Amino acid sequence: MLAVCCAALGFAQPIWAEPTKTDFLALAQKGWVYELRNSVKRRDASMPAVRIDSKEMAKGSICVIGEQPHAITQGVLRAFQNLIASVYGPVGTVTWGGATAASCHGPHRTYIRLYSGRPPHHAYNRDLRMLDQIYHIGLPKDRDQFVRSPAQASTFFGREGLASHLLIKQPSAMPLSPLERGFYASILIEELYQAFSFGMDVLHFDRQKAFLSKIEEYPVNLRNLDWDSPRFMQGLLTSNPRGLCAFDVFMLHALATSELENVNSNAFLEYLDHHFDELVQQTRATVQEPEFAGIIDRNCMDAP
């Protein structure tokens, strides 16, 4: 989830030190070995157990709704799907739906609502109510959910399975400035990666250390800025890498090959430790593929 609050902008040039195995394992522990939120813990005991399984997301179908996808949106989605297929094997199809989630014609694993301009509060909540009907999530009937950032993702574990909903702001027209192109690609890459990998945000406070992952966030104070303003876009772009890092691709390979029931556990860290060299080799081969260039950040490609 995008971070839009806390510290002031301004930082020194980071030190591009090559990461170590210890760095990778420590970041994996922060981003993937976590306790489930209280709202999940308090859910009906008769509900199926929550399984954090990236493979289930990767192999499920995607339905895109709302506005017609902009060229930047299409490019990022295509590259990301190709990356997931390369790492996980055969994946689900992408359906270009209509204005509502009902136009998707059947259940999908991931729903992506695209919008430009003001956040579509009512359409967003209609989507969630429809997902509740399909997957029996148990959402509160008398309370709407709010749009708190230009791009956000929610994953639900219902009686009828797993579903994810992404709400993504995209450009309204062409041409775009380099800042706009970078911004809209970056927020979509981030939400796709976190939805498919289940990685949680990791705060990155030390500007003297280079970023290792798209899930790292240097908190910046953007609360009172218009989401279309250059200052907001620049602030968000400096809060983490613009695309996926070597670590992020490394984690996808690990999630795809692990046979664990749940990856938010110390057993997953043990898997990373035991298969580390093999996963790094797979990562180095994957990030060199030209078809993924649009979603890769070349400034964080170092691996141990």
Q: Write down the pLDDT at residue 7.
A: 37
Q: How many CB atoms lie within 10 A of CB 225?
A: 16
Tell me the per-residue pLDDT of 179-235, one tens digit each, with 9 for 90 and over.
999 999 999 999 999 999 999 999 999 888 899 999 999 999 998 999 999 999 999
Q: Which range among 11-15, 24-28, 83-87 shows the weakest confidence by mean pLDDT?
A: 11-15
Query: Residue 205, Cα to own-chain centre: how many angstroms?
Result: 20
- pLDDT reading at 41 higher than 90: no
Residue 102 DSSP SS3 = helix
Q: CA-to-CA distance for 45 and 79, rounded, in angstroms?
A: 39
The arithmetic mean of pLDDT across residues 143-158, rounded, is 93
Q: Which range among 51-60, 243-252, 270-279 shows the weakest confidence by mean pLDDT?
A: 51-60
Angle at 211 between CA 1 and CA 165, to 5 degrees: 20
Q: CA-to-CA distance for 192 and 201, rounded, in angstroms?
A: 13
Tell me the per-residue pLDDT of 104-130, one tens digit each, with 9 for 90 and over.
888 899 999 999 999 999 999 999 999
Cβ–Cβ under 8 Å, residues 128 and 103: no
The arithmetic mean of pLDDT across residues 19-48, rounded, is 79
- pLDDT reading at 138 higher than 70: yes
Q: Write down the pLDDT at residue 71.
A: 95
Q: Record the tokens describing residue 35, joined without a space.
A: 């306790």
Q: Write down the pLDDT at residue 51.
A: 81
Cβ–Cβ under 8 Å, residues 169 and 116: yes
Q: Write down the pLDDT at residue 260.
A: 87
Q: Write down the pLDDT at residue 39.
A: 47
Tell me the per-residue pLDDT of 56-109, one tens digit each, with 9 for 90 and over.
999 999 999 999 999 999 999 999 999 999 999 999 889 988 888 888 888 899
- pLDDT reading at 250 higher than 70: yes
- What Å distances lie between residue 176 and 71, 230, 233, CA to CA? 11, 12, 13
pTM for the whole structure: 0.92
- DSSP H helical segments within 206-257, as ranges? 230-237, 246-257
Listed residue (249, 302, 250, 258) closest to 276, CA to CA:
250
- Residues 6 or more apart whose CB falls under 8 angstroms from that of 105 comprise 95, 97
Q: Write down the pLDDT at residue 179.
A: 97
